[in-house]
Every structure is written in C-alpha cells, then in structure tokens.
Homo-oligomer: A and B are copies of this chain.
Amino acid sequence: YHTLSGTKIAKSIREHAHREITSIRKKHPDFNPTLKIIQVGDRPDSSTYIRMKLRASKESGVHCIVEKLPKGISQLELLNQIRKVNEDESMHGLLIQVPLPSHLNETLIANTVSPEKDVDGFHRYNAGELAKRKGNPYFLPCTPAGCMRLLQETQIDLAGKSAVVIGRSDIVGNPVASLLRNRNATVTMCHSHTTNTPEIVSKADIVIAACGIPEYVKGEWLKSDAIVIDVGINYIEDHTKKTGQRLVGDVEFNSAKDRASWITPVPGGVGPMTVAMLVENVLAAAKRQLAQRDRIPQIEPLPLHLQNPVPSDIEISRDQPPKPITQVAEELGIHNSELESFGHYKAKVSLSVLDRLKHRENGKYVLVAGITPTPLGEGKSTTTLGLVQSLTAHCGKPSIANVRQPSMGPTFGVKGGAAGGGYSQVIPMDEFNMHLTGDIHAIGAANNLLAAAIDTRIFHESTQKKDSSFYNRLVPKKNGRRTFTPSMLKRLQKLGISKTNPDELTPEEINKFARLNINPDTIAIKRVVDVNDRMLRRITIGEAPTEKGHKRTTGFDITVASELMAILALSTDLKDMRQRIGRMVIGSNVNDEPVTVEDIGCAGALTALLKDTLKPNLMQSLEGTPVMVHAGPFANISIGASSVIADKLALKLMGSTSKTENAGYVVTEAGFDFTMGGERFCNIKSRASGLTPDAIVLVATIRALKLHGGGSDVKPGQPLPQEYVQENVDLVAKGCSNLCKQISNASQFGVPIVVAINKFQSDSDLELETVRKAALEAGAIDAVATNHWEKGGSGAIDLAQAVIRATDQPKNFQYLYNLHDSVEAKMESIVKNLYGAANLSISPEAQAKIDTYKNQGFGDLPVCIAKTQYSLSHDPSLKGVPQGFTFPINDVRVSVGAGYMYALAAEIQTIPGLSTYAGYMNVEVDDDGNIQGLF
C-alpha cells in the first residue's frame, strides 16, 4: 500500500502558497491575504483548532487574525462584527469557529458571512452552488476539498469509478459526494440507516469514511486495491499511552492497509489537508479580490425605445425604468459599504473609494464646453449625456458623466431642468431636478446659520457693552466650569494668546478675544434661498422691536451662489473643506482686518452640516451609464463646474492599473462657453484638483453660429426667422469665427479639441461641411455632427469615436498664467489672450481692493472674471468675435475659502426672478405620486 500523507501534501501546498504570495507581491506590494477567525467564548478544543490554523497560515505567508469575543455576546453584536469584516477590504476570508454557545443561531450566523469571504464554504450560496451539477461556488468546504486533493495525488481518473461515502454530514459527507459526482464517479452514500454497508464498501473503488465511529470500516470489507480516505478523528482509550488515549480514524488502519492501494493515516491524513485547504481558500479569495480590483467595469446598457416625435423630457424619463442604483454601483466596482442609498435610484458614494483605488492610473478626462451662448442654446449638457451614452452603450467603453446639481430656481422658473433632455438625460429627472439628496438644502442651511451667527454676534456685542459681562456670556459656566470651545482655542491661537483656561485671560485679552468688532458695512455673506425670489435681492433686516434698531441693508443670493457651494466644488476632502470654511472671510472689522468664519466660531458646525454633501451623488443616464451629480456653483461668479471630488472619484473608477491598459472615460462640463467656463476649469478647478483634461469637446449648433454670423435677433416663444430654418452657408461661415476663436482659446491650454455640431433637421450638409472645414483649419482634430437628443447614444457614435481618438493624442497641458504673477497681469492675460480685448481698465475702487487683498496676502489666488456670458467681450450685444475693445473691471472681491479672487465686469444678478408665466405653474402630482408637467 501507499500512504497518502496529508502532512506531506499539506506542507507542499503551504510552501506553494508562500511562493505564490511572494511572487504576486513583487508586482503588488500591498497583496496581503488575510484570514479573520472569530472565536466566541474559549472552548479548549476550539482554541486547539485555531492554533493549528494560525500555524498553517503563518507557514503559508497568510495573515491570520483571531478575534475573541465574550461567550455571552448578543447575537446582534456578533452579527455586527461579522458585517464589519464583510465590509473590510483588508480581510479576505472570515471563519466563525464552531460550535457556538447555544444562545446563538449558527445557521443565521453562517449565512451572514459574505459568500465571497466564506472560506469555510458553509454559506447556503456556496453549499447551493456546490450541490448543483454546474454550480459555481466561491469556495469548496475545506475537508471535502482536502479529500479530493488527496485523491488527486493517486493520479487515478475518477470517472466511472465506484465510490462510497460513509456519513452524510453537511461538513463532509454531502459535499464530498457532490464533488465525486462532479468528477463523474458513481457515488453511493451510506449512513446510520444503511443495512449493508460492508457489501457496498466491498464493491467500491474509493471509500471515504466520515461517520465518526472509531475504526468502523474493517479491512476485510474492502475491495482489493481500493483507495481509502479516512476523515475520522476519534480518541479512544489506550492505557499504553501517557495521555491514556490514542487517536484513530473511522477505518481500522491495520487491517485496511493491506488491502488498500492507497490509504490515509490518522493522524497525518485528512487533518492537515483541511487546514491547508483553508489557507488555499484565503489565498484564492485574495487573488480574486486582486483580479476584481482592476477589472474594467461592465456597464449594462438600458435599452432605448425611441419614439418620434420625441416626447417631453419627463415622459421619456418616466417611461424608462432605471437600474437599481445598487446595480449601477456594483457595475462600477463600488462596494456596498461604500454606498449610501437614497431611495432606489440615487446614492451617495463614500470618499473611501479614493483611498482604496489610489494605486490606479486615472481614466480619460473629457471636458465639454461650448461656443458663446445664444438664446438658441447649444445643448452642452445633452452632449455630455449623449456622449457617455454612446461611449458605453454603443462603443463598449465604460464611462461616467459628471454633472452639476441643478438649482431649483430654474426648475420652477423659466429655463427648466439641467442635465440633458430628449433621449440624452439623467433619470429619474424629477428627482434629479428637485431635492436630489439634499446637498443644496444643506448648503442653504449652513450659509444661513453663518449669516444668523454674524448678525447676532454684532447684536450681542453691541447690546452688551461691558467686556466682562459679554465674555461671561460668551464663555459661560457649565456645571460650575468654563471651557473654551475648539473654535475659540483656534481664535486665541490666531491672536497669539496661548492660555487655555478662560479664567486666566487679562481684561485686554478678553477684549481682544471677545470683541470681533465687525464693520456691518463690510459683511460679504448674504443669506440664500433656492428659489427665484427677486424681492429678496435687496432687503432691510432687523426691523422688529426686539432687534433694538439694529437694522442693516443686505440681500439674498440663490443658494448655488453661496461661497460654500464653491467650496464644495473645490474641496479635496473633509479636512480641506473644514479648513476652507474656517478661512472664509465674512467681512472686515473696524480696523479693516479680515474677520473669518473661524472667528465667528461656526466653522465646525458648518462642516457638520455639510459633511455628507462631500460624497458625490450617483445616478444614471437614460441608457444606464453612471452619472455623478455633485455641486453646482453659480457659473457667473464662480467656476460653474461640478466637483473636484467627483472628478477624482470617477477618474479612479474609470482607471486601470497600468497606463497602457484600456481605461474608461469621464466626461464633464464647463459652464457657458470655453472662454469663460473652460478657462476657469483649467486655471482654477484644475489647479485645485491637479487633474487636467485629455480632450476638450466644443459644442456648437448651426443656428447659434448663424446668430453669431449676424442673423437677426431671436426671442423665446416666437417663431424662428427664416435664416435659421433654411440653408444659409454665408451666415454659418461668418459665425464660425466665434467657434474658431473658442478653438484657438482652448488650444492655448495644450489639449486636443473635438467640435461637436449638435444637429437639427434643418441643417444642410453644406452648412455642416462649412463648420467642419473651419474647425479643422482652426486646429480642432475633428468636427462631427451628432443627434443624440433625438436618437440617444446611437446618435453620437461619430462623436464618441472622435473623442476616443482625441484622448489618444498626446497633450501638453499648460496654465494660462502663473499664480505668482501680479493680480493685474493675471487679469490681463485672460482678458487679452482669451477675450480678445485690446486693453484692460481697472476702476480706482477695484484697484484699491486689489491693493488691500495683496496686503492681506491674497495676491496669489487665481482670478475668476465675472462678465456677461453672451459675448466674448463685456458687452452682451457684441456677437461673433469682438475686437479692439477695452475691458473694464469695476469691482473685485475675494472668496478666500473657495480659493479665488473674482473681478466684476458687469453687475451680476445673483438671484433670478420668476416670470409672469413660470415653470411651477404647470406642475401637478397625480394620485400615484407621479409628477406631471415638469418640462
């Protein structure tokens, strides 16, 4: 007979595992297969088994962590522990050592372990898959797998062999029978009710003994040359041994060995194999995670059923059942624990994804911008959505669209919702256009807490004349003790006061600390509201008698114009956000020194209100492409782009482990034309994110180009003049000057450019060709027509392919100016190089402010120029490419928290109004809760 030595094979398995881990680690230094064992209570037998597992793990190079939990732990607490390990990326296998104390439900507990970490193979997922003929379990249970490995050593083909399994436990008998059946053996299962086991055994080529009866199978039962696998571990009395007992199997080894061709000893047979297979399972789990970690996302498209004429946006959205957002996340490789669902079709994504994927190269980064806007619209958002729908549903490339969250002002005002339309949009569009996950509401709440805190502080400082009594109220006794809050300590530090005991401040220090002495005329923080409420543009507050005459003129902005929104868009993480909020300058004190949110003492509270807004919102397009909706700073006075964090996250999700591998695409958008939105994107947002676009898509329409070419004025709601609906190549050719200037402006940043001509039925081939030629001459690498509004992604295939080619081109990104240039030089470089102005004229008031800001140390900030979006110049009536004009800067302000200075070339309306007929008037909700009439 041959001995099937489990000890020897197990050793070679452990060594092999060790070599494999070492080899993988050369490429992936963080590869660290880890097994977590949870032991409840402290049964000595369990402790012995766990020691064996620890030893085998160590020898294999597998990390093994044992967590001992108290015997009396409640089931809920144990389940919580299990769920934690399920969600812990660094744990690949989880084993709950059985038996458990009797108050715990073993079945429930075994089935709470994630099937993908169930290295014991006890979860019903794995048991169910194993039981099936062509099932696909994540793991095989260790002892049965060990038996099969031992059989493999004999090099005998199991097909057609007669096998008998004695014992029908779920741990050994049942699964080993399934495994033998899958290897095409003819299997008979014997058990306590079987009447003729010896007879059945006598016919068997293979005998697996797993009945738990010492030396049950006798040698004389065996067919000659049978292979015998003995799973039994039984202690029997033996007075010749020191311990008084001896370990035997379920087979009488001495009589069996002479008939068997191969036989496993006890100990040293199946036992060590069980532990070795456990280690192998952990290694397999870690390898699977490694492979999945870098797989390219497989995004399942939602089929479109196109109709003609194209129905309303809300109808199209309502007729398309979205994928559950959990599926979208899973397709992207976002884990369950990294997702917070908000209903069925929206979710927030945790920033921990960034850390998990930090080793990845970024995906391709595509910026969509436009020509100078006209009342006719160019369809930039539609193009963003159409492009990702095409890339993913029609060109087999994973992609994500990153878009801004729309304000509810336009939703119920005139413009209507954002993010596409027709067959290229974000769904469900009503949820997208209203509260979403409440980010804008949170910004409103935070902004208005700050505003209330500022005015109330001024009020209290003014009504409480004595420093000491004001200080006593500001730092009150609680349970007989006074303590500074964390924000007060920060203010003390800024003032150079190192005391931490409130009772130790001198009267001078108290005055310095407690009196902010804010000059009410300098307050830069307005209150906000997310509705087009024109009556709040300028108001007088504090008129109630309780405010004792502390009136002040101020106003409301629309919420998205809050500096907090710009901070949300530009922050890179929570800590950065906290610091930016603290830095925000709310105005000056009577000595013209800046007063910050930190001084007011509410930076922490504002961060608490905003902490969840930092997590990007995940939705999907009409064709099932993932869409991240995050932040939406007002385009006129801010960057008008979605968030840095969403871009970072999406680029990692679309990324790959090596630069050469095929990665996915992130398509995002800049507000207004390239010259405004694109410039800010490259000079401000890219500086904050460190991310630069790999291609720029410039969107134009034939109609808008005609307007720039000198076509007559267009008014919403009135029929279009003839030149817009009939061929007019001449107008188009003239209007191309605007497009070409945008191309030339974009070229200054060193990024490949594609022109997308958003097509209407009335556009003629000659017109399209005219644009194409002009664009190529101006330096675009391609110019293609697209009609995704009507056709979804299938209408944008040419565009998608052009974009794929563009991102494969080399780029040579450069900023337009250096941060250390003077403020005036930065302005000049934008105004002359991009706007095409001959001169820059800075008003004396603006110049004075610039000088102050320089003195305050804000001179190195990038510059955002607020001007009309309807012209390359400051004059909205100048279409095409105005030249020779002098560009005026009337006023300058600073958003220290957001991190830029902004210069005003026009009076910018920061809260729109409602028109006589406004969007809200047509909205209804039917009895089933469906919204009607929203666009």
Contact = CB atoms under 8 A, between A and B. Distances in A.
B547 A543 contact: no
Interface string A108-135: 0000000000000000111111111111
A135 B127 CA distance: 11
Interface stretch (A252-260, A605-613, A703-711): A605-613
A129 B124 contact: yes
Given A340-B344, A916-B464, A931-B608, A188 B191 contact: no
A187 B408 CA distance: 69
A290 interface: no
A49 interface: no
A302 B79 CA distance: 12
A539 interface: yes
A924 to B, nearest CB: 4
B535 A552 contact: yes
Nearest to A135: B124
Interface in A405-456: 408, 412, 430, 434-435, 437-438, 441-442, 444-445, 448-449, 451-453, 455-456
A529 interface: yes
A544 B533 contact: no
A570 B432 CA distance: 28
A459 to B, nearest CB: 7
A601 interface: yes
Nearest to A913: B456
Interface stretch (A8-16, A194-202, A225-233, A265-273): A194-202
Contacts of A924: 486-487, 604, 607-608
A436 to B, nearest CB: 9
A127 B131 contact: yes
A533 B455 contact: yes
A190 B124 CA distance: 26
Chain B CB within 10 Å — which of A83, A323, A929 has the most?
Answer: A929
Interface string A921-933: 1111101010111
A169 interface: yes
A717 interface: yes
Given A186-B200, A547-B534, A925-B611, A485 B574 contact: no
B449 A168 contact: no
Contact of A485 (B555, B605, B921): B921
Contacts of A128: 124-129, 131
B186 A186 contact: no
A869 interface: no
B453 A914 contact: yes
Interface string A524-563: 0001011111111111111110110010110100000000
Interface stretch (A70-78, A240-248, A848-856, A893-901): A70-78
Contact of A453 (B303, B476, B719, B920): B920
Contact of A174 (B129, B131, B915): B131
Interface string A147-183: 0000000000001101000001110001000100100
A178 B456 contact: no
Contact of A609 (B188, B434, B539, B541): B434
Provide the main secondary structure of the chain A interface: mixed
A357 B913 CA distance: 46
Contact of A348 (B343, B435, B601, B918): B343
A477 interface: yes
A464 B542 CA distance: 32
B916 A574 contact: no
Contact of A452 (B124, B535, B612, B934): B535
A191 B184 contact: yes
A343 B445 CA distance: 20
Nearest to A486: B924
Contacts of A200: 186
A356 interface: no
Interface in A183-217: 184-196, 200
A344 to B, nearest CB: 7
A624 B76 contact: yes
A769 to B, nearest CB: 30
Chain B CB within 10 Å — which of A530, A539, A612, A927 has the most?
Answer: A539
A164 to B, nearest CB: 9
A204 to B, nearest CB: 10
A634 interface: no
Nearest to A131: B131
A544 B555 contact: yes
A612 B343 CA distance: 10
A923 B169 contact: no
A191 B196 CA distance: 22
Contacts of A437: 438
Interface string A500-538: 000000000000000000000000000101111111111
A578 interface: yes
A26 interface: no
Interface stretch (A57-65, A378-386, A467-475, A817-825): A467-475
A478 interface: yes
A922 B487 CA distance: 7
B344 A343 contact: no
A499 interface: no
Contacts of A445: 408, 435, 441, 530-531
A551 to B, nearest CB: 9
B923 A323 contact: no
Nearest to A134: B170
Given A534-B547, A541-B536, A925-B608, A441 B435 contact: yes
Contact of A608 (B159, B434, B542): B434
B552 A544 contact: no
Given A76-B301, A604-B922, A604-B923, 16 more contacts: A76-B302, A76-B303, A124-B128, A128-B128, A341-B342, A448-B529, A448-B530, A464-B916, A473-B916, A480-B719, A488-B921, A527-B533, A529-B529, A535-B552, A540-B540, A604-B925
9 contacts: A159-B193, A162-B195, A340-B343, A453-B918, A456-B533, A475-B917, A486-B924, A538-B543, A602-B923
The 4 closest A-B CB pairs, nearest first, are A128-B128, A131-B131, A441-B441, A124-B128
